[in-house]
Amino acid sequence: MRHEGKTEARLSRIRGSEPPRRHNARTIAALTSNPGCARRAVLDAAGVDKERLAERVGFPAAFGQSRFAIVRGNAFERQVKADGCAELLRLLRDLLALDLRDAAYTDLGADGSGEGLDARHVAARERLTRAPGGEDGEGNPGGEGNPDGALFDHPLLRLEVAGQAVYLEPDLVAFQHGGAFHVVEIKSFPVIDGQADAEKVAAAAVQSAVYVLALRRLLGRDDAVSHEVVLVCPKDFSNVPVAVRLDVRRQLIVLEHQLARLTRIDTLLDALPDDLALDLGQDGAGTPVMAVDALTAALGRVTARYAPGCLSTCELAFFCRREASGRTAALGIGVREELGGVETVAEALGLAHGTATPDDDQAESAAMLRTTARVYAEALGAMPETPAGGAAG
Ligand code: SF4
């Protein structure tokens, strides 16, 4: 426990005067897509606002939702949840073929009690485990669940990430008669003619898998939460919601594997300088606590593991890409693995052309690079020459 407090104090010193950004399913999904990156792990654990940090150091992120899309998404979610989730109940009834006329609706985040995260999590656990399908619910002596089903809004879940407990708040959890919970995700990207953007669906599936895992851990049983989540999106170009089932079994396997691979946050902190700080706050006069140069230098003290996939998952991608330029790792995980021991593109070219001598660790990569260079040169030599001024014909 004392160790936990020490870790929290250290993370708080790194973040400085700013309030922490809470982890969510998207940040956990992104973290597990690049589990070897200490920079992201430390920044997320400390709750540093990476989007603002990227802006401050001159490399603003090029992804994320526009303000308009966020407003539209919130309006869509409100619409689906209006009147005790009447619209959602209709969708679930049709999709899951259930009689949910008398389903109970409970908003676990709406009491405005100002309770802390721990207390809200304990309260959510109590309510969910009392529901049918929970440890003390239907099928267990003393259960008091509603046989017509129940919807729980904003349950505060918890997941262990790199040895640190993080809190998560899914849009909703729906209960099914069969004794299993279904996670419901409400997204604002459209389903047009039965098809949605594959990349967005893939991201929603990973995020939903995070919630399924957290809910399974809360309830203490894997079979208490279905691997089929319900995705609710606008239909075609309207605001009419449509619900589809999404199987997240594969995402769950990958997620559990990647979470197990994450280095503990206290181990990562032990390797960092004691005075590391990434404070984005301002003093009383409105002057930034840390200048841009100091922030850039501090970022450079935490090891990154850039890969092209970072461009779609991490706010610091442009900063890390510039930092990694000229390194073989920047060409992707495949290249990094193929060229183990060959750190830079210049080194790789030297080995390919025989102008550099490989050490023992590089011998295999060097042989492959020489073969590739020879085949490439032969292929180029076999190609008909292109007349000056453009293509023939
Ligand atoms: S962009 Fe940088 S900090 Fe983010 S995951 Fe990639 S390497 Fe790590």
User: How far is Cα 118 from Cα 157, in angstroms, rounded to an integer?
Assistant: 10
Helix (H, G, I), strand (E, B) or coil at 197: coil
User: How far is Cα 330 from Cα 343, in angstroms, rounded to an integer?
Assistant: 10
CA-nearest of 14, 10, 16, 26 to 170 is 26
Q: Which residue has the higher pLDDT, 333 or 235?
A: 235
Q: Which residue has the higher pLDDT, 301 or 386?
A: 301
Token digits of residue 244? 């589809």
Indicate whether residue 317 lines ligand 1 (CB < 6 A).
yes
How far, in Å, from the CA of 200 to the mean position of ligand 1? 20
Report whether pLDDT(382) > 80.
no
Q: Are residues 193 and 226 in the same domain?
A: yes
User: How far is Cα 71 from Cα 94, in angstroms, rounded to an integer?
Assistant: 28
Indicate whether residue 290 lines ligand 1 (CB < 6 A).
no
Residue 220 falls inside a structural domain: yes
How far, in Å, from the CA of 30 to the mean position of ligand 1? 9
Q: How confident is the model at residue 146 (pLDDT cuts 50, 70, 90)?
A: low
Ligand 1 atom index nearest CA of 310: 6
Q: Are residues 251 and 281 in the same domain?
A: no
86: left (phi over 0), alpha (psi -120 to 50) or beta: alpha
Q: What is the pLDDT of residues 12-60, one digit of tens each?
A: 999 999 999 888 888 998 888 888 899 999 999 999 999 999 999 999 9
* Structural domain for 91, as ranges: 67-259
Helix (H, G, I), strand (E, B) or coil at 159: strand
How far, in Å, from the CA of 306 to the mean position of ligand 1? 5
Residue 176: per-residue pLDDT? 62
Q: Are residues 250 and 128 in the same domain?
A: yes
Ligand 1 atom index nearest CA of 39: 3
Pick the residue whose CA is nearest to atom 1 on ligand 1. Answer: 317
Q: Are residues 272 and 373 in the same domain?
A: no
Find the CATH number of the domain harbouring 221. 3.90.320
The amino acid present at 263, given as its one-letter code, is T
Across 186-211, average pLDDT: 91
Residue 353 falls inside a structural domain: yes
How far, in Å, from the CA of 112 to the mean position of ligand 1? 36
Indicate whether residue 316 lines ligand 1 (CB < 6 A).
yes
- For tokens 């999106």, what's the residue? 233
What's the total number of domains in the chain? 3
Best residue among 28, 310, 313 to mutate for probing ligand 1, ranked by most atoms within 8 Å of CB: 310
Token digits of residue 390? 């453009």
**CA-to-CA dists, residue 129 to 142, 156, 230, 293, 361, angstroms:** 11, 13, 21, 51, 54
Indicate whether residue 229 lines ligand 1 (CB < 6 A).
no
How far, in Å, from the CA of 187 to the mean position of ligand 1? 25
